[in-house]
Amino acid sequence: MRIRTLLALKPKEPGFFFDVLVGKIILFGCLLLLVSCQDNYQTASNQVEVQVVRVVSGQSLEVLGMTEQPNLISSVRLLGIDAPDLRQRPWGDQSREVLAALIGEQEKSVILEFDVEAKDKFNRILAYVWKDDQLLNEQVVKQGYALFVSRSPNHKYDQILERAQQWARLMGKGIWNPEKPMGVSPAEFRRRNW
């Protein structure tokens, strides 16, 4: 129906309310389509810049800057990855060294990006870690020093992490090295040794 026809109808004429209802439905549909086509970028409230105090392992950091108390150290667990336990030699130490190298010696500030669940059962902060526009979670997996592990409900970068693992495996990087593969997954190693 044309807009002129809608404007020409008077409230007492038959079909007026039906035509207005159809117009509202069409308008609502257009707005819904417009909103759904927008990119799903994270807002600034999902991110925070922190200073890395220590690289604990290939999947854990200690940072400053997460709370109102600037000198309080917080523990951060990298989302979507499972790095070898430090007792899994040599892979645990290598994984920690890779993450430390990615963070760097000089400028140790990183951006933490949060997903759906903010903390794990051990009260560690769960985050994706960014440095110089690189997702460090992905880089550790891509270099073969961590496994991709999807953890519900945090799935934002699952596809990226899974592709990184496929690439590392195909290239025989780190724990995927055919000459010296890691025989037991980090989760299984921890289960057996706790």
CATH of the domain at 165: 2.40.50.90
For residue 174, is it within any domain?
yes
Measuring CA to CA, how many Å separate 150 from each of 125, 130, 190? 16, 19, 18
For residue 93, is it within any domain?
yes
For residue 18, is it within any domain?
no
pTM over 0.75: no
For residue 157, is it within any domain?
yes
Question: What one-character DSSP code corresponds to residue 37?
Answer: T
Please tell me the predicted confidence (pLDDT) of residue 182: 87
Its domain, for residue 74, covers: 47-181
137-166 burial code (b ≥16 CB/10 A, e <16): bbbbbbbbbbbbbebeebebbeebbeebbe
Q: What is the pLDDT of residues 93-120, one digit of tens each?
A: 999 999 999 999 877 899 999 999 989 9
For the chain, the domain total comes to 1
For residue 22, is it within any domain?
no
Ramachandran assignment for 47, one of left (phi > 0), alpha (psi -120 to 50 degrees), beta (any other): beta
Least confident range from 28-32, 164-168, 176-180: namely 28-32
For residue 170, is it within any domain?
yes
